[in-house]
């Protein structure tokens, strides 16, 4: 069987970065390249029931090989990588038997992965790490999840004596721009419940996530010669700065953790006549989430009132909601994953996702879908890394979950 490291590295070298400005699905055609590679690999394994649709969603089925009726389990990962950091010309490198010291990613540019800033590195001494050359992301989010699901499928195909119920696989586009579940075909997928393989360090098991919204702010100003601007000029950049500056610094990503929500400024541009910003708003608590959105709207209204005209417009769109509400009636999904880890001597780490997955949207669409670890760290970053041993543990966990459900009735 192909080593999981080789499988993963093969996928990382295919650029699948999504584009939030695109109106197509997938948002970038290059995501089809990876989808077609995965479809071919699945069929080479002997999995004949595969379908790649016109929107870039790849579905596959591994039929049951047991007589009793058991739940149909789905496993899902996304193919795109974040628009925040380049995913082009990724140069992954394996560091065997990691020493525990700082890692020189790129000698020419003096890019270092320091243990002081990333103390989780110390947990991987003696393991084999895959890192970047410091100029791109690695793509473990979520090509590690893809590799782990594919490794599971390969194991099942290579070991016909391994008993299992029906298994569904899906690889989705555009998760990183919040559209991964937009055109997901639940009926075609046909699972009773699913797991996204899209988490971080070993043992992570998540069934809570942020409530999420995206905000666009536009300010139209009035340009006048600064020497004659008294009571005339309206500087759009200064107005936008007042809005952003009024947001609590303690409610930004740098200063928040666990269940604490935040505002995150993604983009700012402008001049005197027109300035724009985009932000994301996050909170696990629905009421606090609403308060954060209302604060932005109130700031806009106050400034428009002060200037006597609606120079500022704001558009806020909800992206997804906390899936806990939809998972709790089906907690056997979480408990079975927890038991699988414990059997494998993996300590379950049940914590909220400080982000979102396709699973959040899918859970609200009627497919309860908690999230399992991939083993990766520092996603959306030049400092991304993953342990090969962690990826192997993720595959083992998937297989153990399947094994535990083979004796459970619908």
The yes-or-no answer on residue 80 being catalytic is yes
E strand or H helix that includes residue 216: strand 211-220
Cis ω for the linkage preceding 142 (within 30 of 0): yes
Count of other CB atoms within 10 angstroms of residue 394: 29
* Coil/strand/helix, residue 168: strand
Q: Beta strand pairing status for 193-199 and 376-377?
A: unpaired
Q: Are 358 and 181 in contact (CB under 8 A)?
A: yes
CB 379 within 8 A of CB 82: yes
| 320: helix, strand or coil | strand
DSSP letter for 302, please: H
Sheet order of strands, 129-131 included: 93-95, 129-131, 385-387, 376-377
Give the 3-state secondary structure of residue 212: strand
278 catalytic per annotation: no
Task: Name the token pair of 91.
Answer: 């140069």
DSSP-derived letter for residue 222 is B
Tokens standing for residue 373 = 């670890």
Q: Name the DSSP class of 81.
A: B
CB 364 within 8 A of CB 326: yes
Cβ pair 32, 171 in contact under 8 A? no
CA pair distance 395, 404, nearest whole angstrom: 14
Candidates 80, 133, 141, 208; catalytic one: 80
CA distance 370 to 362: 10
Of 22, 368, 41, the residue nearest 193 (C-alpha) = 368
Q: Which of 175, 176, 198, 251 is catalytic?
A: 175
Alpha-carbon Rg for the chain, nearest whole angstrom, is: 23
Distance (Å, whole) CA 103 – CA 133? 10
Name the residues annotated as catalytic. 80, 175
């Amino acid at each position: 069987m192909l080593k999981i490291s080789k499988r993963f590295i093969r996928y990382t070298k295919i650029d699948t970065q999504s584009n939030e400005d695109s109106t197509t699905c997938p948002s970038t055609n290059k995501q089809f390249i990876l989808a077609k590679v995965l479809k071919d690999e699945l069929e080479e394994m002997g999995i004949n029931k595969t379908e790649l649709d016109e929107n870039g969603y790849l579905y596959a089925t591994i039929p049951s090989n047991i007589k009793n009726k058991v739940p149909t389990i789905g496993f899902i990962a996304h193919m795109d990588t974040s628009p925040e950091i380049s995913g082009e010309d990724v140069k992954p490198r394996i560091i065997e038997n990691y020493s525990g010291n700082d890692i020189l990613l790129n000698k020419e540019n003096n890019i270092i992965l320091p243990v002081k800033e990333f103390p989780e590195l110390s947990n991987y001494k003696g393991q084999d790490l895959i890192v970047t050359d410091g100029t791109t992301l690695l793509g473990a989010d979520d090509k590690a999840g893809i590799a782990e699901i594919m490794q599971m499928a390969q194991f099942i195909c290579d070991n016909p004596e391994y008993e299992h119920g029906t298994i569904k696989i899906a690889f989705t586009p555009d998760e990183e721009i919040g559209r991964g579940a937009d055109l997901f075909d639940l009926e075609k997928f046909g699972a009773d419940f699913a797991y996204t393989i899209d988490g971080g360090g070993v043992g992570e098991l998540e069934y809570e996530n942020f409530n999420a919204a995206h905000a666009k702010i536009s300010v139209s100003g009035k340009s006048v010669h600064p020497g004659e601007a008294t009571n005339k000029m309206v500087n759009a950049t200064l107005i936008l700065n007042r809005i952003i500056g009024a947001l609590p610094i303690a409610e930004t990503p740098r200063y928040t953790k666990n269940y604490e929500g935040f505002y995150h400024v993604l983009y700012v541009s402008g001049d005197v006549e027109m300035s724009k910003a985009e932000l994301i708003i996050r909170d696990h608590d629905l009421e606090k989430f609403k308060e954060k959105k209302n604060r932005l709207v109130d700031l806009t209204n106050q400034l428009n009132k002060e200037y006597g005209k609606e120079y500022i417009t704001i558009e806020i769109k909800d992206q997804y909601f906390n899936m806990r509400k939809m998972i709790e009636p089906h907690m056997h999904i979480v408990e079975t994953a927890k038991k699988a880890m414990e059997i494998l001597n993996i300590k379950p780490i049940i914590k909220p996702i400080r982000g979102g997955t396709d699973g959040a949207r899918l859970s609200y669409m009627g497919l309860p879908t908690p999230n399992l670890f991939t083993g990766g760290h520092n996603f959306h970053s030049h400092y991304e890394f993953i342990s090969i041993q962690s990826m192997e543990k993720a595959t083992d966990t998937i297989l153990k979950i399947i094994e535990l459900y083979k004796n459970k009735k619908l």
